[in-house]
Amino acid sequence: MKLYYKINTYGCQMNVHESEKIAGQLIERGYLPTDDDNLADVIVFNTCCIRDNAERRAFGNVGALKKLKKAKKSLIIAIGGCMTQQPGVADMLRQKFPFIDIIFGTYNLSDFGKMLDDRLKNGKKFTSLIDSYSLNENVPIYRTSGTNAWVNIIYGCNNFCTYCIVPHVRGRETSRDKQVILDEIKRCLDEGYKEITLLGQNVNSYGNDRGETNAFASLLADISKIDGKFRLRFMTSHPKDLSQDVVDIMASTPNICNNIHLPVQSGSTSVLKDMNRKYTREHYLSLIDMIRSKIPNCGITTDIMVGFPTETEEDFLQTMSLVEQVRFLSAFTFVYSPRNLTPAAKMPQLDECVKKDRITRLIDLQNEITLQESTRCVGGVYEVLCEDKVGDNIYCGRTDEGKLVSFSSDYDLLGQFVNIRIDSAKHSALFGKVEV
């Protein structure tokens, strides 16, 4: 009899990749993937808690499974990830949703398979959260991301931005061994992946916990020397740690993409100070100048937050002027959401109407810039890695700078590098034809 699993993933790329590790443990036990709740024998929620809405969505979806569990007693429901790693949440989940079988955290995701074995063998409901992260290199990975392979280089975060819960649920920075990373990348390339994306909450801190200096630039240099045509990307960079060495190696190495995600959060130095970001508006702008002087066509993207408790209208206008000055390719924009355990949650909060008004103005401005930047590409020819088939003969992929391109082809181009002439643009998407 075939057994099936379904994983519901919330949040960032780190979670997407960690779901590949949960999937690896299920595949190892003979389960097959499905998108159908009714067919699944194991349903896993890999949760996020960075903003209130991510938590609420997960709660709602877990709650909706009560009926299914009642009808199918053998169904195993497991919940893990950032939300469950918060103190007290596992107890609350057990009370609110007594039908959950397994609760695990971010620190012990590699034990998920064993917890499932125990649940099936002894029938006992299982909660397991540990309070310090330990590296486990022996987790099987079932990659689901097409042509791109995610590779973790550093776990956790030491920065404690005053709004952010991540350091509280993912522990302190722990870098992986360089040789282990290089071996994993070589395996991915041997398996046919065409793009490697290095992951970490702050990739620029890679190696600091091991007492190494300039380790990230040296890691990039070593990876780029691996044989074969492939693209190398990384995320996320912290402006306080991004060094000239990293930008130099990006500029001088063709297979490292000219694409950097550099979250600014705010354009106001005083808000940045209250956020404990450890850089100023001027420093951020000088980084942008440094990047563009070395890599003129670099695709720069960012995260921006509005409505931080101490943000005045003047501070917000500083964010708007920074956005106008930098002209990001695109930006993830967020309304500040108070998070338990964080200092900013204890400050007097701004009115919801003020937050809503600011996010609307920011999104309108960034949309205008994104469209202008996209329109500038019309007429140009870009090398695109064909990453996905999205319709009959319709494919999509990204340029080196990270711009999304759709195009049609009568041939299957998945996994191939193709030159595309851009003939139109809509918001952040470009449309074009294969150039022969």
Please identify, among the stretches 53-61, 163-171, 333-341, 419-427, the one whose residues bind ligand SF4 according to the rule CB under 6 A: 163-171
Residues numbered 232 to 271 that lie near ligand 5AD (CB under 6 A) are 263, 265
Residues numbered 278 to 307 that lie near ligand 5AD (CB under 6 A) are 303, 305
Judged by CB under 6 A, how many residues of this single chain contact ligand 5AD? 12
Residue 333 contacts ligand SF4 per CB under 6 A: no
Sorted by sequence, the CB contacts under 8 Å of residue 121 that are 6+ apart come out as none
Burial per residue of 95-134, b for 16 or more beta-carbon CB atoms within 10 angstroms, e otherwise: eebebbbbbbbbbbbbbbbebbeebeeeeeebbbbeeebe
What is the rounded CA–CA span in Å between residue 371 and residue 425?
7
Our CB check for ligand SF4 shows the closer of 159 and 349 to be 159
Burial degree of 369 (CB within 10 A; 0-12, 13-18, 19+):
middle
At its nearest, how many Å lie between ligand SF4 and the CB of residue 278? Answer: 10
At its nearest, how many Å lie between ligand 5AD and the CB of residue 277? Answer: 10
What is the rounded CA–CA span in Å between residue 366 and residue 380?
23
Please identify, among the stretches 70-78, 202-210, 269-277, 331-339, the one whose residues bind ligand 5AD according to the rule CB under 6 A: 331-339
The site string for ligand SF4 over 201-240 (x = CB under 6 A, - otherwise) reads xx-----------------------------------x--
What's the distance, CA 3 to chain centroid?
30
Question: What would the two tokens of residue 13 be?
Answer: 């790329």
Query: Residue 111 carries which DSSP code?
Result: G
At its nearest, how many Å lie between ligand 5AD and the CB of residue 197? Answer: 16
Residue 167 contacts ligand SF4 per CB under 6 A: yes
Judged by CB under 6 A, how many residues of this single chain contact ligand SF4? 10
Question: What would the two tokens of residue 290 be?
Answer: 């440094």
DSSP collapsed to 3 states, 76-106: EEEEEEHHHHCCCHHHHHHHHCCCCCEEECC
Residue 301 contacts ligand SF4 per CB under 6 A: no
Question: What would the two tokens of residue 269 be?
Answer: 């130095």
Q: How far is CA 290 from CA 251, 381, 429, in A?
A: 11, 26, 27
Residue 337 contacts ligand 5AD per CB under 6 A: yes
- For 83: left if phi > 0, alpha if psi spans -120 to 50, otherwise beta; the answer is alpha
What is the rounded CA–CA span in Å between residue 275 and residue 288?
20
Q: How far is CA 427 from CA 178, 301, 370, in A?
A: 39, 15, 6
Our CB check for ligand 5AD shows the closer of 110 and 366 to be 366
Sorted by sequence, the CB contacts under 8 Å of residue 89 that are 6+ apart come out as 83
Query: Residue 202 carries which DSSP code?
Result: T
At its nearest, how many Å lie between ligand 5AD and the CB of residue 303? Answer: 3
Residue 159 contacts ligand SF4 per CB under 6 A: yes
Radius of gyration (C-alpha) of the chain in whole angstroms: 22
Residue 163 contacts ligand 5AD per CB under 6 A: yes
Please identify, among the stretches 78-86, 152-160, 191-199, 336-344, the one whose residues bind ligand 5AD according to the rule CB under 6 A: 336-344
Residue 42 contacts ligand 5AD per CB under 6 A: no
At its nearest, how many Å lie between ligand 5AD and the CB of residue 406? Answer: 26
Residue 201 interacting entry, from ligand SF4, ligand 5AD, none, C-beta within 5 to 8 Å by type: ligand SF4
At its nearest, how many Å lie between ligand 5AD and the CB of residue 349? Answer: 12
Please identify, among the stretches 60-68, 114-122, 334-342, 356-364, the one whose residues bind ligand 5AD according to the rule CB under 6 A: 334-342
Please identify, among the stretches 5-13, 162-170, 285-293, 424-432, the one whose residues bind ligand SF4 according to the rule CB under 6 A: 162-170
404 residue type, one letter? L
Residues forming the site for ligand SF4 (CB under 6 A): 157, 159-161, 164, 166-167, 201-202, 238
Residues forming the site for ligand 5AD (CB under 6 A): 50-51, 163-164, 263, 265, 303, 305, 334, 336-337, 339
